[in-house]
Structures are given as structure tokens and as C-alpha cells.
Structure 1
Amino acid sequence: MKIEDYELLLKLNEIGTIRGTAKIILISQPAVTQRLKYIEEYFGETLFIRTPKGLVPTPSGEIVLKHANEVVEKESELINQLAESSKEIQGTLSIACSSLISQRFLPVILGEYTTKFPKVAIDLVTGISEDIRRDHKNYHVCIIRGEKLKESVSIRLFDDPLYIFDTEPFPKNDLKERPLISFKSDDSMHELVDNWLYHHQEQIKPQKTMTVDQIETCKQFMKQGIGMAVLPESVSDSMKNEYPNVPLKLNGKPVTRDTWVCYQEGIRKLPQVDQFISLLTNTNFL
């Protein structure tokens, strides 16, 4: 059995379907089916049964999955130990990063990092901060927005002020009623916006709210005059001179979205992790 076979079993159990697993690991569905057949023949047991709701491990499957998890964890520990003891920086660097940061800043940062350390394998997952928080122990480094991870070492990278944009002016002494366009984010972002709107309901009243999947889609909808949009400065700095906007403030202070790099105590003993965190903390984001 290869380590990849154990990883496949864990992924099948996580995703729950052969089709979905094939899509995630970027191989064909028949190839996944064939590999599962080989693994079951190797153990001489049926490991999964197919149900309308997806794959369900058999009792034998549960035993093998437990073993597979132990094997994969031991392999990861071994790779990290070898990387730590090596004079040359190599090994794997696993990163979970907020979608906004991965789109706006991470390409340049990783480009610089991989140029310096070409033997480091990058394992990257992007998504909303809420999901990253839930699975943070699966990664060496997490870059998240909003609240920091209390159970981890957390370093603030930058504060990102919020602005509300529109194609129509914001009247100073009149109520502005327009649709509000929002993008998929975690609850803390929506709470910031809702709290600000509550304290400014005499100036701005959203007629309705429409939610889109990505921040770039939100920007384009706003630019077409469909409605207002609250955007962080990191993705809208060039728009401030082109479109009417108001900075979000409460009690005279800017409403900001904090960005953090978080990691487990002791993980910086791995040279590839330490170098990446150092690069992050020395980057001028805004």
C-alpha cells in the first residue's frame, strides 16, 4: 500500500462520493473506482457501501480508515522532522488562506517565497475565514480575517478599513435608499456592516440585499449601478477616486477588518514555516 492509497481512502470518507473525490484530487472517476477496487482486494474486505446519501464505511472500513489516518499523520511528522533537521530549506508548507488575501496579496508573496526556496512544496487551501478556523489544526499557517485564533499564536498583519461605494452620490442631509450588494464572507464581516448600518439608519437604508459568491462579482455589480457595496480598502483603493464612497466609522473610529497570521506554538521550528511567516510579517500590505 502506498501513502497515496491511504490518502485516497481518507478523502473518499471525507467527500462521501467517488465522483466528488475524483473532482477534488483531479483524476478521473473510473481511476478512483479502480484504485478503490485494488485497495479492497489488498485487504480482502469491502471498505465502503454505496447509499443514496453517499459512501458509508463498513466496520472493516472504519478499522482501515483509522489505520490510514495514523499512517498519513506519521508520514507528515516524518517529513517535518526531516525538514527540520535539514540544512537546506525544503519539505511541505501547508497554508490555509482567506480568499480575499489569496487573490489580492498571496500570489506575489508566494512567488517571492518559491523563488528563494524552490524545494519547498506548497499545500494551499483558500476559503472563507470561518471554515479555516474550524480546520486550523490541519495547517502549518492560517491567514484569516476578522477575529484572531485564540488558541494559536496570532500576529496582526494589517487593519483593512471598510468603505461603502455606489455609482450615485451619498447625500449629506437626506436618506439614501438603494439596494445593498454583499459578497459571501463569514459572520463577523456581516456583523460589522449590519452594526454600522444600524447606527446610520437615518442616512442609509438598504431597500433589499442581494448576495453574490465573490467580492469581484460584488464590485462589478456596484460599478453597473445595481446597488451599494461595502468593500475593504485592500480591494478598492483605486475605486475611491472613481466612485462616490463613505468610510465606515463608529464613534469617530474607522470600522476595519483585521487580518491575522495564526499558527500553533512551536511550529516555527520548521525552517520552511519560519521563513514564510517572516516574509508575511515583513510585507507592507496597505
Structure 2
Amino acid sequence: MKIEDYALLLSLNKIGTIRGTAKSILISQPAVTQRLKYIEDYFGQAIFIRTPKRLVLTPSGEMILSHAALVIDQEQKIKNALAESSKEVQGTLSIACSSLISQRFLPAILGEFNTKFPKVAIDLVTGISEDIKRDHRNYHVCIIRGEKLKETTCVRLFDDPLFIFDTEPFPENKMKKRPLISFSSDDSMHELVDNWLYHHQGEIQPLRTITVDQIETCKQFMKQGLGMAVLPESVSDSMKDEYPHVPLKLNGEAVTRDTWVCYQEGARRLPQVDQFINALTTRSFL
């Protein structure tokens, strides 16, 4: 059995389907099925029952999954111990990062980091901040948007002001009625927008909401004149020079999305983690 086999079992149990797991770990469905058969043959036991909705653990599977989690945990502990004892910056750096930050800033940051510390292996997961918060103990470093992560050390990286854009002007002393284009994000982002719209309901009234999956799709829909879009400054690029926009403000203060780097107590004893956090906290984002 390889460590990757135990990791596969944990992914199958978490995601619940062979198809979803294959998509998540970027290998083919038949390859996942074949690997699972090998593992079940190795233990001589069925690990999952295949139902129409999801995989269900057998009693033997529950014991094997507990063993798999222990193996993965022990593997990570020895890697951390070796990295901590080494004078050279190396080992694995596991990062969970908000999709927006991973698209806009992370490639350049990791490029510079990899050049400086080529022996550090990067283990990266991107997604919505709420999902990252739920699984934050699985990572050395979490870069999230919105509220900071409880029970961790959090450092604010930057405040990201929000603007509402449109291809049509925002007239003074006249109600603006347009569709609102929204992108998939965590609840805190939607709450900020809904709260601002509530306090400006005499000026702006969304006719309906168009929901898209990615922030880039949201931008392109707005540019095609399909409606208004609330976007953070970090992804607005030169849009403020090209399109009518209004900064979101409440009581004279800008409405912003905070971006945080969060980590567990003691994580900075690992040189690769400490150096990466230093790279983040000394960087200018906006």
C-alpha cells in the first residue's frame, strides 16, 4: 500500500462518488475504480457499498478508513518533524486559498517563493472561503476572505473595497433599475452586498439576479451590458477608467472585503511555513 492509496480512500469517503473523486484529484474514473479494487483486494474486504447516490462505508471499511487517517496523519507529522529539524528550507507546504486570491495574486507569489526555496513542495487547494474554514486543520496556511478564522492566528493582508459597476450611468436623484449579476462566493460577501442595497433601496433597485459561477464570468456579463455587478477593487483592473461605477459606502465608510492569512499555533516553527507567511505579510497587494 502506498500513502496515495490511503489518501484516495479518504477522498472517496469525503466526496462520496468515484466520478467526483476522479475529477477532484485529476485522474480518470477507470483509474480510480481500478485502484479501489486493488486496495479492497489487498485488505480482502469490501470497503464501500456502491449505492445510486453515494459510496457507503462497510463495517470493515470504517476500520480501514480509521487506519488510513492515522497513516496520513503520522506521515505528515514525520514530514513536519524532519522539516523543522533541518536548517535548509524544504518539506511540504500545504495551502488552502480563496479562489479570487489564487487567481489574482498567488501565481506571482508562489513563483517567487519557488525560485527562492526550490526544495519546498507546494500542496495547494483553492475554493470558497467557507469551505476552507471548515477544513482548515488540514492545511499549514489558509488564505481566506471575509471574517477571520477562529481558533487560529490571523494576520490581515489587505482590505479590498467594493464597487458596483455597470455599462450605464448611475444617475443622481433618480432610481436606477437594472438586473444584478452575482458570482458564487461565501455568505459574508452576499451579506455585504445585500446590506448595502438595503440601505440604498431608494437609489438602486435590482430587477432580478443573474447568478454565475466565476467572478470573471460576472465581469464579462457586466461588460456586455447585461446588468450591474459588485466587484472588489483587486479584480477591477482598469475597469474604473472604462465603466460607470459607484464605491460601496455605509455611514461614510468604504465597504470592504478583508483578506487574511491564518495558521495554527506552532505552524511557524516549520521553516517553509514561516518563510511563506513572511512572503505574504511583507507584500503590497493593492
Give the TM-score, by structure 1 length: 0.97
2:235 matches 1:232: no
Partner of 1:65: 65
Q: Distance in 1 between matches of 2:189 and 2:163?
A: 13
What letter matches 2:108 in structure 1?
Answer: V
Deviations 1:43-80 (A, max 9, x none): 22121121112221111111111011001100011011
Q: Distance in 1 between matches of 2:266 and 2:147?
A: 22
Residues 194-213 of structure 1 correspond to what in structure 2 (within 5 A)? 194-213=194-213
Partner of 1:261: 261
Deviations 1:1-57 (A, max 9, x none): 221221121122122222322222233333222222222222221211211122211
Partner of 1:7: 7
2:245 matches 1:245: yes
Q: Distance in 2 between matches of 1:239 and 1:27?
A: 38
Partner of 1:105: 105
Q: Distance in 2 between matches of 1:26 and 1:240?
A: 38
Partner of 2:149: 149
What letter matches 1:83 in structure 2?
Answer: A
Q: How many residues align?
A: 286
Partner of 2:116: 116
2:161 matches 1:161: yes
Residues 182-197 of structure 1 correspond to what in structure 2 (within 5 A)? 182-197=182-197
Residues 28-107 of structure 1 correspond to what in structure 2 (within 5 A)? 28-107=28-107
Q: Distance in 1 between matches of 2:33 and 2:225?
A: 49
What letter matches 2:22 in structure 1?
Answer: A
- Decide which moves more: 69-78 or 196-205: 196-205
Deviations 1:227-279 (A, max 9, x none): 11111111114111111111111111111111000111110000000000000
Q: Distance in 2 between matches of 1:257 and 1:37?
A: 46
Q: Distance in 1 between matches of 2:38 and 2:162?
A: 54
What letter matches 1:255 in structure 2?
Answer: V
Q: Distance in 2 between matches of 1:74 and 1:36?
A: 22
**Structure 2: gaps (5+ residues):** none
Residues 130-149 of structure 1 correspond to what in structure 2 (within 5 A)? 130-149=130-149
What letter matches 1:171 in structure 2?
Answer: P
SS of corresponding position for 2:238:
helix
Q: Distance in 2 between matches of 1:27 and 1:193?
A: 38
SS of corresponding position for 1:11:
helix
Q: Distance in 2 between matches of 1:32 and 1:242?
A: 48
SS of corresponding position for 2:124:
strand
What letter matches 1:24 in structure 2?
Answer: S
**Structure 1: gaps (5+ residues):** none
Q: Distance in 2 between matches of 1:236 and 1:180?
A: 17
2:137 matches 1:171: no
Deviations 1:180-231 (A, max 9, x none): 1111111111111111111111111111111111111111111111111111
- Decide which moves more: 256-265 or 30-39: 30-39
What letter matches 1:94 in structure 2?
Answer: S
CA-based RMSD: 1.1
Q: Distance in 2 between matches of 1:237 and 1:7?
A: 39
